[in-house]
Amino acid sequence: MSFREDLYPTRLARPMEPFPRRDPVIHADAAQQADGPLNTEQLAAFERDGFLVLPDFFPRHQMEGFRRDLDSYGQDQALKARPEVITERDSGQLRSLFAVHEWSDRFDRLTREPRLLDAVRQLLGSDVYIHQSRINLKPAFHGRGFEWHSDFETWHAEDGMPRMRCVSASVTLTENSTHNGPLLLVPGSHKWFLPTLGTTPQRYWEHSLKQQTLGVPEPAHLRRLIEAGGIRPCQGGPGTLILFECNTLHASGDNLSPWPRSNLFFVFNSVENSLQAPFAAPEPRPEWIAARKRVPVLEPRAWQQQAIA
């Protein structure tokens, strides 16, 4: 078996101290950074914090169509049988729907919004493709939270993503407030890689997508980063865009309120950062979680003539 360098060892038998990331945060060169909707202050904020919150990036009325779709998904019993549909571990209510861009034209078109693609290219400096898409529904009263984690740690260990050259876009479909379990981000945490302990079992995704217990940071490491950077709840009305770097620590609490917290997520990976074999898992995860038949997202210009409905 040929030797493969692993820049981000994790899922270890013995503890390992956090170390500085071995990739730039913004991969685009100066010319690419100047060619897009993000201004220099926004680029500097993404570099510093590891995320950007852009209120009203999409018109609020445009999110109504997604909410209507969600209502119909909730009524579709056959849908719940699909592997891409994850239910809450206790209430059985819908928790996440994966690979939505493959079966919802409305969702697919949103991922190709020219301003969004141009912003992502200002950060990643290359063509991109969708590594993963999902809707996290977090229903009223019963929506369960997500433990603290770095997405990159999972995507490196279980999907074989080699480098940190990937950005998540989250779009709020409903009001995200302090009451209904908003996304919590730790500013500056993206600059450190936190190796985790443990061994990834077979088909771990059948558990982790309901409750992640492996690949989560050691409390002492987590405390150090939170005491340095604080915790930023991402609040805003429908249509808010949150861009967060693949290694930015995040979590969210349970939703005990009467109001759902439904967010779209789609993950743009650089075409220069294609998935390899998992770095710390017995087998690759299914295509609906981690795309391997990657298709670069269409040129934005191909979509400027088609308004987003």
Residue 154 C-beta: closest distance to ligand 6CS, Å: 4
Cα distance between residue 53 and residue 240, in whole Å:
7
Contact 255, 184 (CB under 8 A): no
Residue 96 C-beta: closest distance to Fe ion, Å: 10
Q: Is 151 a binder of Fe ion (CB under 5 A)? A: yes
Residue 304 C-beta: closest distance to ligand 6CS, Å: 30
Q: Is 159 a binder of Fe ion (CB under 5 A)? A: no
Residue 183 C-beta: closest distance to Fe ion, Å: 9
Contact 174, 238 (CB under 8 A): yes
Residue 217 C-beta: closest distance to ligand 6CS, Å: 12
Q: Name the token pair of 234.
A: 């991402």
# residues contacting Fe ion (CB under 5 A):
1
Q: Which residue is nearest to Fe ion (CB)?
A: 151
Nearer to ligand 6CS, 67 or 207 (CB): 207
Residue 144 binds which one of ligand 6CS, Fe ion, none, with CB within 5 to 8 A depending on kind? none
Residue 134 C-beta: closest distance to ligand 6CS, Å: 6
Nearer to ligand 6CS, 28 or 285 (CB): 285
Q: How many degrees, rounded to 5, is the angle at CA 241 between CA 236 and CA 243?
A: 120
Contact set with ligand 6CS (CB under 6 A):
132, 134, 146, 149, 151, 154, 208, 212, 289
Q: Choose one: 65-73, 88-96, 151-159, 183-191; the region binding Fe ion (CB under 5 A).
A: 151-159
Nearer to Fe ion, 43 or 137 (CB): 137
Contact 261, 176 (CB under 8 A): yes
What is the contact surface with Fe ion in residues (CB under 5 A)? 151
